[in-house]
Structure formats: C-alpha cells, structure tokens
Amino acid sequence: MRFHCPHCNSQNTKTRSSLRVSATVTRAYVQCRNSACGFSWRMDCHAAFALTPPAKPAPGVLIPSSTLIDRKRAARQQAAAHAIEVARSHRGGRCA
C-alpha cells in the first residue's frame, strides 16, 4: 500500500518496515521517494470499523461495526419478525 507524502503530496512512497503492535494496530515506517523531499515518518494504522462481520471472530478483538452492518442486521431482524407474523396469521386462518 502506498501513502501520500504529507509534505510534497507525492504518492511515490515506500513502506520501509512495519510492525504489528496489537491485533488492530500496525506501525509502519514510510519514506518519500521524491528526491526533492525525502521525508520519513511513522504511521500507526488501526482497524477503524468492520465493513462485514468476521466469519471467525477472534476472542478479545473488538472492532466496532459500521452503520451499514447495523442497518443490514436491523433489516434482517425486521424481515424475520415479519415472516413470523405472516406465518402465525396464516396458521390462525387455517385453524378457524
């Protein structure tokens, strides 16, 4: 992954090394390859939020879900509740 240099805005950068700090944080050391700039910096990259739920969640790793996941979950729960109500109303109609 390439990053923009915060000083010259060049995308000609290189990640020199990286280190996993925790399950959700990676520290990267980046260097601008623009010869007129040459800036080097450290970046701490973290998992901000989940776009999809994990298939196998790791114990103790808490990454907040995006509002998209929350909306999809609410829609599924609402659809399931509606399906139950429809099934109950049909059962009631047949028994009467």
CA distances from 81 to 78, 86, 94 (A): 5, 9, 20
Are 25 and 45 in contact by the 8 Å Cβ rule? The answer is: yes
31 or 53, greater pLDDT: 31
Give me the pLDDT at residue 78, please.
80
3-state secondary structure of 27: strand
Local confidence band at 6 (pLDDT 50, 70, 90 cut-offs): very high
Per-residue pLDDT tens over the stretch 51-75: 888 899 999 999 888 776 677 777 7
Place of tokens 């990053």: 3
Q: Which amino acid is at 57?
A: P
